[in-house]
Structure 1
């Protein structure tokens, strides 16, 4: 396999205790500017987290219950990370990041408002305009001391609104499972770094010094999915990134290797259950 581009230098997360939720402030938020390829080192904490970018795309890598996943999301989407999950964040491009921290009372309220167990797993969510503004406001006031009844009432009101917006947020199939086997893991990491380096499985198989049939078997055995299904999820995430840059649909379809916009539109509709005009509208 050819050499990959140099890995970005990693940096530690901002002091988590500084932004830790508490009984007085069950919901905390912070802002962080991330340069292209900046990588926040793997870490975990006792509270839940919502990660999204106001501008620029980020990749969230997470390990949960012994399995690794990667989530590539642009603005208007966010990654939900349950408590105790090891995760890292990489800026695919220069990003204006916002992080929302939810203490146990807020997580319990969310689970009661939207039951079903989905909040125990990482997933990608749509971010409504109201949720975006609530998090922006919380992050803007993150370092302001809160004291007095008025401040506590404000925090309680915002917490209620955030929980309500999160409970109604649509989950999107944008997560990519990552294998534990070293050969396929290197291949998947290479595809995440440069998804358009090869247009088909033959090119990736040649780079891995194996056959297309063997590479297909690796995906089935290690990930329980096909190469085509895995790559489709990767291309959807890439398409969202391009849409966030206001690229027209024809150019997005062409860059991702589709023969026509209609073929690309059909793929998106099958994958996410909605036409591209809606799926990309908020990006």
Structure 2
């Protein structure tokens, strides 16, 4: 099982208001720390301009590279783990300006324009230029509402034994240990663990592990890692085996999938 991580409080700073519906407080965080489970009265776009995050909320987990962000609705409990040192720049959005009403969580593409608007808002948040910050916030809300969604969701369980296994696999998606080995580590029988996967997650152990691997692999590819290296890190026998599973899941090869993403961002 993974070693405990250092847990940090949420970012300090003022929340959004009716006059200033978008606010932001950026901070640099090292790898292998977590922002503990919490919620807000406002909505939050969880985004990092560099590094890689894992966000857990609403019974699911997402691995988030800089090209993506996750919308989390007001009052939804969430946790953020820093997988690779990152500048965490969560956007706080007033509940009255929710861009995705009815959705608790939504993964969105961060366009070049949205990325630059967020960077400019960091400057606009300074006391010397409050009006600029308000204008940037309105532009961000407009761009965010147009952002395409690219969900790569990994469901999470409630059972403590199964949750420990899933968290360990998310921390080391290339691990090749069998279900029997994980059952011993969790203090349960292999049959019990298999039943928990089906009952709580609606899929087998093998299916869930593949989904977790592909979600992590997508973030590695988005950062520019060669496919052969991604396949190696995730425990696939070859690059072609990884590409075949990726195509089966997402309907296109990794190269085509990310070429589409680059066109969306251009």
Same structural fold, with TM-score higher than 0.5 when normalized by the shorter chain: yes
Alignment equivalent of 1:61, drawn from 27, 52, 56: 56
2:24 — aligned with what? 29
Instruction: Return the match for 1:137 from 104, 113, 120.
Output: 120
TM-score normalized by structure 2?
A: 0.86
Q: Deviations over 1:91-110 (max 9, x none)?
A: 11211211111113321xx2
Alpha-carbon shift at residue 205 of structure 1 (Å) = 4.1
- Which residue number corresponds to residue 99 of structure 1? 90
Pairwise CA distance, 1:276: 1.0
Q: Please state how far the C-alpha of 1:206 moved relative to its aligned partner.
A: 5.0
- Match among 152, 160, 163 for residue 182 of structure 1: 160
Deviations 1:22-71 (A, max 9, x none): 12211112211111112112221111101122111111122x4xxx3222
1:72 paired to 2:50: no
Aligned-partner Cα distance in 2 for 1:201–1:168: 42
Give the 4+ runs in structure 1 shifted more than 6 A. none
Q: What are the Cα deviations for residues 144-181 of structure 1, in whole angstroms up to 9, with x where unaligned?
A: 3445xxx26x634x344323332232323322222111
How far is 1:184 from its partner?
Answer: 0.8
Q: Deviations over 1:242-272 (max 9, x none)?
A: 2255321122123323333333223223323
Paired residues of 2:157 and 2:201 also in contact (CA < 8 A)? yes
Find the residue that maps to 2:44 and give its secondary structure.
Answer: strand
> Secondary structure at the residue paired with 1:143?
coil
2:42 alignment counterpart: 47
Instruction: Specify the alignment match of 1:125 in structure 2.
Output: 108
Per-residue CA deviations over 1:177-218 (Å, capped at 9, x if unaligned) read 221112111111111122222255454345446565543321
Q: Secondary structure at the match of 2:113?
A: helix
TM-score by length of 1: 0.81
- Per-residue deviation, 1:21: 0.8
Structure 1: gaps (5+ residues): none
Q: CA deviation at 1:137?
A: 1.1
Match of 2:224 in 1: 246
- The 5 A counterparts of 1:263-274 are 263-274=241-252
> Does the C-alpha gap of structure 1 residues 226 and 162 become closer, same or farther in structure 2, counting only changes over 3 Å?
farther
- In structure 2, the gaps of 5 or more residues are none
SS for the counterpart of 1:135 is: helix
CA contact (8 A) 1:31 1:96 kept: yes
Q: Is the 8 A contact 1:198 1:204 kept in 2?
A: no
Q: Return the alpha-carbon distance in structure 2 between the equivalents of residues 280 and 211 of structure 1.
A: 40
Aligned partner of residue 53 in structure 1, secondary structure: coil
Cα RMSD, aligned residues only: 2.5
For 1:162, the equivalent position in structure 2 comes to 140
